[in-house]
A and B are shown apart, each in its own frame.
Chain A
C-alpha cells in the first residue's frame, strides 16, 4: 500500500513571531523554519505503517518554494522513501494546495493520504477536508488512532466530549491530531541517507492546476499587550478588588 504524506514548511513553533513594520505580513526574515508539528506526526504515522509492514512506500509531498525541500529531506530522514515538491511562489491558499495534492494523488494513486489537521501558521484546518471533497475520498479527521484493516481503515477521532471511531473505505484521507503519536528524532545516519533519496519537482502546470488567489490579506498586527498584574497585600484586598474593580464577584 502506498501512503502519501503532506509536509509543510512553517515558522518554528517555539519562535515568537513579529508583524512586519508596515503590518502587511508576519516578518519571516531570518526566522527559524521547521516542519509543521502536525505534519511531523503524519510522517511518523506513515513510517510506523511501513515498519509494521502495512505500507510499502511512503511518499512525502510539500507545496512551496525551493526551501521546503529542507522539510521534505527531514521527512525522508524520518523514514519516507521519496519526496515530491510542487514548486509554488509566495503563500498559497488551502484550496490551491488541495488541488495540487489532488494532482499528485492522481499521479501516485496512494491508498492513504495523511495530512496534519492544520498548519500552525495559517491555522486553517481546511486542506485535508478540501482534498476529500475534490477527490471524493473518505476522510477521517483529527485522528488519535489509525488502524488499517484490509480494505478499510478505522480512524479514532478526537471530538468534543470524547472519541469517535469511523470506518473508511480505502483509499482514504486521514488528518492527524496531537496525540496520534510521538514523532522520533531524525537520526544522523538517516539524514545522510536521505540526501540520496529521490526528490521530484513538479510545477503546478505539470499537475494541470492554475494557481489563483481568492483572498487578500489586509493587515497583520500583534495581539494587544497585556497589562502588568499587581500584587495584592492580602486576601481582603484581593476580594475587594475582585468586587469593586474587576466586578467579577
Chain B
C-alpha cells in the first residue's frame, strides 16, 4: 500500500479536484479543515489536505479515481458524530464529505422502502417516515446530525436495538464506490437474494475502509403504538438484569436503557430537567413499551410490583403524556452531550446479555480500583448487553496524561471483555481510538482476513487508511 500524502496538495491536484466538483467545493481554509477533519472525538488534531463536497455518484467516482492515481488517502465523512475517530483526517488526507448528496426519493409504500443519498441526515429520514405514517427505528442522540452513510458505515445501533436491531437490519440495498472508483449496486432492495456472497453486509460497519457509500435503500417500519416510558430506580447492576429478564419474559420492550446516579445528576444539573423521583438509587433503568391495549399497562404495573417485592426496584415513574415520555427520554439521551464538556474517555463494551451481571461486576471493581480520583459515568443499551463506560477528565489534568492513564486501564477492562467473549466496540466502531485493542475481540486470523478483503475492494489502500487496523 502506498503511503498517504502528508504534504499540502499540489496546485495541479487542487485544480483537478476543482474540475470535478467545482472550485468552490474544494475547501482548504483552516476553518473548514478543522470542521471537516474531526468527528465527535477530540483526541487527534484535524489536518486534512483538502475537503471536497461532491454532488453526485459520478463525481465521487471521479474523485476516488483521481485519489487512486495520485495515491491520496480519502476519508469519507458523514455527520462527523462518530465516537471512535473514524472520520478523523489528521494526516493530510482528502476529506470527501457527502453533505450535498442528501436527496430522499423513490419512496415505495408497497415495499416500505425509500432511497436515500448517503448525506441524508438520520433525523431527515425519521421525519420523512413519520410524515407517511411510518417509522425509521434507528435512533440515538446524534440523529439530528449523523448521516445515513455514516450510520451504515458504523452499523449504528442506538436506543431501539432491543426491538428493531441495528442499522444493518434496515439496509435493503446500497451503492458503493470502491477504492478503484468502480460502482457496486449491492442487493437492490431485494428481500431474498442468495445469489452469492452478500457484499452489502461487508460494507455495513466497514467505517469507510472499503469505499464510499453513495446511496442506500432503507426499509421503514410501522410506527409504535402509544409508547409509554418507565424509569425505575434500581439498587445495583445485578438487579437491572433481573428487571430486564422479568419484563422481557412478559412484554416486547421497545427499549431497555440504563444510567447511573452520577449520569442523572449531571443531566439534571446541566439540562434543567426534573428528577424522576426523590428516592435515591444507584442506577436507573428506562423502559419503553407499546400500549396496544390496557392489558399492556396492567402487565407493566404487575411486573413493577413483582420487581419491588423482589427488591430489584426501589421506585419508579411512568409517562402520562407524550411530553413526559420525551422528558424522561432526555434523562438518558442528553447524557452524552452533557458530559462531553469533560472530554470523557469512552469505552463502548458488550457481552452477551446473560453474562452481563458477572461481566459488569468485574469491570466495575477494576474501574473503581483504578480510578479512585475520577468521576465515572455509566449508561447504555444494557438490554443489548452494551454499556458505555465514561471516565470524565478532571479539569486540572492535562489531556495527554489523562489519555495515557485511561489507556492503561482500558487494557485491564479489555482483558475482561476478552475473557467474556465480548466486544471492545459494541456500536461505535474501531476507527483510530480502538485500533490498538482490536485483538481483544478479534483473532489475528480474522483481522488478517479483513485486511485481505480491504485489499480486494481497495487495492491502492487509499480508503480511510489507518482506521480499524494498520
**Which A residues are CB-close (under 8 A) to B304?**
188
CB pair B274 A184 closer than 8 Å: yes
Instruction: Digitize B290-319: 1 where CB-to-A-CB distance is under 8 Å, 0 elsewhere.
Output: 000000000001001100100000011111
CB pair B276 A185 closer than 8 Å: yes
Contacts A12-B321, A12-B322, A185-B317; is A192 near B274 (CB within 8 Å)?
A: no
Q: What size tier do the contact residues of chain A reach?
A: 10 to 19
Q: Which of A13, A184, A187 has the most CB of B within 10 A?
A: A187
* CB-based nearest A residue for B276: A185
CB pair A185 B328 closer than 8 Å: yes
CB of A148 closer than 8 Å to a CB of B = no
A148 to B326, CA, bound (A): 34
Question: B interface vs A, CB < 8 Å?
Answer: 226, 230-231, 274, 276-277, 301, 304-305, 308, 315-324, 326, 328
CB pair A188 B322 closer than 8 Å: no
CB pair A14 B274 closer than 8 Å: no
CB pair B323 A14 closer than 8 Å: yes
16 extra interface residue pairs, beta carbon distance < 8 Å, beyond A12-B322, A191-B301: A12-B321, A14-B321, A14-B322, A15-B322, A32-B322, A34-B321, A37-B321, A37-B323, A184-B274, A185-B320, A185-B324, A186-B317, A188-B316, A188-B317, A189-B315, A192-B305
CB pair A74 B301 closer than 8 Å: no
A187 to B323, CA, bound (A): 16
Instruction: Digitize A183-221: 1 where CB-to-B-CB distance is under 8 Å, 0 elsewhere.
Output: 011111101100000000000000000000000000000
Shortest distance between the CB of B254 and any CB in chain A (Å): 16
Contacts A14-B326, A188-B301, A188-B304; is A35 near B320 (CB within 8 Å)?
A: yes
Shortest distance between the CB of A42 and any CB in chain B (Å): 15
The listed residue (B277, B305, B319, B322) touching A187 by CB distance below 8 A is: B277
**Which A residues are CB-close (under 8 A) to B328?**
185
**Which A residues are CB-close (under 8 A) to B308?**
189
Interchain Cβ contacts under 8 Å between A and B, 9 examples? A13-B321, A37-B323, A185-B274, A185-B276, A185-B328, A187-B277, A187-B316, A188-B301, A192-B301
* CB-based nearest B residue for A32: B226
CB of A182 closer than 8 Å to a CB of B = yes
* CB-based nearest B residue for A31: B226
* CB-based nearest A residue for B229: A185
**Which A residues are CB-close (under 8 A) to B326?**
14
Shortest distance between the CB of B106 and any CB in chain A (Å): 20
Shortest distance between the CB of B253 and any CB in chain A (Å): 16
* CB-based nearest B residue for A77: B320
* CB-based nearest A residue for B302: A192
A218 to B274, CA, bound (A): 42
**Which B residues are CB-close (under 8 A) to A189?**
308, 315-316
Shortest distance between the CB of B441 and any CB in chain A (Å): 38
**Which B residues are CB-close (under 8 A) to A188?**
230, 301, 304, 315-318
Shortest distance between the CB of B51 and any CB in chain A (Å): 21
Shortest distance between the CB of B233 and any CB in chain A (Å): 10
A12 to B322, CA, bound (A): 7
**Which A residues are CB-close (under 8 A) to B319?**
185
Q: Which of B276, B308, B322, B328 has the most CB of A within 10 A?
A: B322
**Which B residues are CB-close (under 8 A) to A192?**
301, 305
Contacts A184-B274, A188-B304, A192-B305; is A34 near B322 (CB within 8 Å)?
A: yes
**Which A residues are CB-close (under 8 A) to B316?**
187-189
A34 to B315, CA, bound (A): 23
CB pair B320 A186 closer than 8 Å: yes
Contacts A184-B274, A185-B274, A185-B276; is A13 near B322 (CB within 8 Å)?
A: yes
Shortest distance between the CB of A166 and any CB in chain B (Å): 29
CB pair B320 A74 closer than 8 Å: yes
* CB-based nearest B residue for A195: B301
CB pair B277 A35 closer than 8 Å: no
Shortest distance between the CB of A169 and any CB in chain B (Å): 34
Shortest distance between the CB of B243 and any CB in chain A (Å): 13
Shortest distance between the CB of B364 and any CB in chain A (Å): 27
A189 to B328, CA, bound (A): 18
**Which A residues are CB-close (under 8 A) to B322?**
12-15, 32, 34
A12 to B277, CA, bound (A): 23
**Which B residues are CB-close (under 8 A) to A13?**
321-323
A180 to B242, CA, bound (A): 40
A14 to B323, CA, bound (A): 6
**Which A residues are CB-close (under 8 A) to B323?**
12-14, 34, 37
CB pair B321 A185 closer than 8 Å: no
Contacts A184-B274, A188-B301; is A34 near B226 (CB within 8 Å)?
A: no
Q: Which of B226, B230, B321, B324 has the most CB of A within 10 A?
A: B321
A243 to B323, CA, bound (A): 41
A35 to B316, CA, bound (A): 20
* CB-based nearest B residue for A13: B323
**Which A residues are CB-close (under 8 A) to B321?**
12-14, 32, 34-35, 37
**Which B residues are CB-close (under 8 A) to A34?**
320-323
10 closest Cβ pairs, A-B complex: A14-B322, A185-B317, A34-B321, A188-B316, A188-B304, A12-B322, A187-B317, A74-B320, A12-B321, A186-B320
Instruction: Digitize A1-24: 1 where CB-to-B-CB distance is under 8 Å, 0 elsewhere.
Output: 000000000001111000000000
**Which A residues are CB-close (under 8 A) to B315?**
187-189
